């Protein structure tokens, strides 16, 4: 499947260094473009309110200040059902995975897997599939 436009992504993580690293990995693919960054859930929602064009995907951490990632994702999916959401977390707990699925996310990737599986997760979601880290979704 070919696409006519770059796949637009927003990164939401409270660690700037983590965002910078994720952005670098994502933008190695010229067909992927980071169009915004947020340091917490409230900032993510504010960016979505003002950003045009809107992103195709939000890559979001779970543990963030002011508004937790799962709550932010739930609000994103309710308000912008066309935007896909990929959780990128260090939390291997099945409870977090269940909460993420209940929030309607399109994927859950462990930061431990990100160096090898981030691109695959993004492509799966872009093609209309879901992606859940094999380390917790067996």
The verdict on domain 7-132 having CATH code 3.40.50.2300 is yes
Contact (CB, 8 A) for 111 and 63: no
Contact (CB, 8 A) for 59 and 83: no
pTM of the shown model: 0.92
> Phi and psi (nearest 5°) for 115?
-65, -30
Domain boundaries, the chain: 7-132
**Greater model confidence, 116 or 71:** 71
**Of the candidate ranges 5-14, 64-73, 80-89, the one whose mean pLDDT is the lowest:** 64-73
pLDDT over 90 (residue 1): no
CA distance 136 to 138: 6
What percent of the chain stands above pLDDT 90? 64
Contact (CB, 8 A) for 12 and 44: yes
Mean pLDDT, rounded, for 21-44 = 93
Q: How sure is the predictor about 30, in pLDDT bands with cuts at 50, 70 and 90?
A: confident
Question: Would you give the DSSP letter of residue 8?
Answer: E
CA distance 53 to 61: 22
């Amino acid at each position: 499947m070919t696409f006519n436009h770059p796949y637009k992504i927003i990164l939401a993580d409270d660690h700037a260094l983590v965002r910078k690293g994720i952005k670098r990995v994502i933008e190695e693919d010229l067909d992927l473009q980071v169009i915004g960054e947020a340091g917490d859930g409230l900032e993510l929602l504010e960016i979505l309110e003002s950003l045009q064009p809107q992103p195709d995907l939000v890559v979001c951490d779970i543990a963030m200040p002011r508004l937790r990632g799962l709550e932010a994702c739930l609000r994103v999916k309710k308000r912008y059902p066309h935007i896909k959401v990929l959780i990128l977390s260090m939390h291997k707990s099945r409870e977090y995975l269940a909460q993420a699925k209940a929030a309607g996310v399109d994927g859950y990737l462990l930061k431990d897997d990100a160096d090898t599986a981030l691109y695959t997760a993004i492509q799966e979601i872009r093609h209309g599939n879901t992606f859940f880290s094999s380390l917790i979704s067996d």
